[in-house]
Chains A and B, each alone.
Chain A
Amino acid sequence: RKEVEQDPGPFNVPEGATVAFNCTYSNSASQSFFWYRQDCRKEPKLLMSVYSSGNEDGRFTAQLNRASQYISLLIRDSKLSDSATYLCVVNTGNQFYFGTGTSLTVIP
């Protein structure tokens, strides 16, 4: 079983749409959680950390459900520039595990 699982997509949504990604993790002792964004042929970059209380950054909202061991990312009012691959990342305290990423394309 993979440490982190994500739906690879692709998700194709029109501009202005709301889209949500989910990610599940297998290690209940995982300590920190992140969403990274990776553009085509570029390096991953931190989008936001995910906290138990949930956190919001502009159009992006991240949530963590420890009981069900899943993490979500909600993007509101999608922009063309949001097109990218979104990687769910979990740290178990001594190692990072990356999901395979979810591909998002925002269509004009």
Chain B
Amino acid sequence: DTAVSQTPKYLVTQMGNDKSIKCEQNLGHDTMYWYKQDSKKFLKIMFSYNNKELIINETVPNRFSPKSPDKAHLNLHINSLELGDSAVYFCASSQPSDSEQYFGPGTRLTVT
């Protein structure tokens, strides 16, 4: 069974579109995260949720909006996609918030 799953795995879309990436974890963790890994391979946190509540919101454009319907899911919605949004987006979870993180397989977003 996959511990942290993301869909879709690949996403190719045009500038200006709106898209969503879904994440689910079946580990029973309370904390979930979204990371962005750019072309230089730098992994940067975007958001962190603990029990459905936002606890970290790094400086990302407000075109990015996370949604946590329950503690097992953390979805990422992106409005008005730009070329610079092209990257790999990883979802992760942990329990407690300072222990090992389990990552999903990543979503490779390409904006054309």
Contacts and interface: CB of A to CB of B under 8 A. Distances in A.
Interface of A: 31-32, 34, 42-46, 49, 85, 87, 91, 93-98, 100-101
A85 B97 contact: no
Nearest to A91: B98
B61 to A, nearest CB: 19
Contact of A87 (B43, B44, B45, B97): B43
A95 B45 contact: yes
Name which of A32, A43, A93, A97 has the most chain B CB atoms within 10 A of its CB. A43
Interface residues of B, number: 21
Given A94-B56, A95-B45, A95-B48, A42 B105 contact: yes
Chain A contact residues, majority secondary structure:
strand
